[in-house]
Homo-oligomer: A and B are copies of this chain.
Amino acid sequence: MSDYQTSPQHRVRQVARRAHYDRETVHAILDEGLVAHVGFMAAGGPVSLPMFYVRDGESVLVHGSRTSRFMKTLAAGAPLCLTVTLIDGLVLARSAFHHSMNFRSVMAHGSATPVPVEEKPRALDLFTERVEAGRSRVARAANAIELKATEILRLPLIEVAAKVRQGGPNDDAEDMDLPVWAGVVPVSQVPGVPVEWPAGKVEA
């Protein structure tokens, strides 16, 4: 299935059988990840910037301080590459060469545009909901000063590719009888027990 009409230059070339261009795969990865790494050219050279993000239909939103040099660069429409990577496992092969990693990733290319001020409250709610479902109805909503201080950028999902590796090691036929354990050590990102924070006690 190929919902996204990703142009040739942004399609997966390396191990192309792992590529996916359907909405279901792309959305599932974006909805599970918490941090995107946004690549772009800054004044001092290329940057790969970790950013909290949230998917909003067929776009991805990122946010940050309006005064940040990087946010200014991105808000001005700098070409960017937004990548989300989920690690699912370490793949232990019989040969060193075939050791690998199971992963699911999405790479989206394009330019972001600032979310207009009238759409900011809804967009901020999406971020708050991503932290905890229902949370936007509980936490004190952003006031005018906070809304103004926050830049929210929207990247449309147009030039998109997912890449997925799963399963075991691709050992060579002649290595299959080596007396070496081969398999997968699953890796996952899990939440722990919530820790309440007393009033007045801020960032450590």
Contacts and interface: CB of A to CB of B under 8 A. Distances in A.
Interface in A60-110: 64-65, 68-70, 79-83, 85, 87, 89-97, 99, 101, 103, 105, 107, 109
B197 A14 contact: no
Given A46-B41, A183-B196, A189-B87, A94 B202 contact: no
Nearest to A198: B168
A59 interface: no
Contact of A186 (B10, B186, B192): B192
B48 A142 contact: no
A38 interface: yes
Nearest to A196: B183
Given A50-B83, A50-B85, A96-B135, 12 more contacts: A14-B69, A94-B139, A96-B142, A97-B142, A99-B127, A99-B131, A99-B135, A168-B202, A169-B203, A171-B202, A182-B199, A185-B191
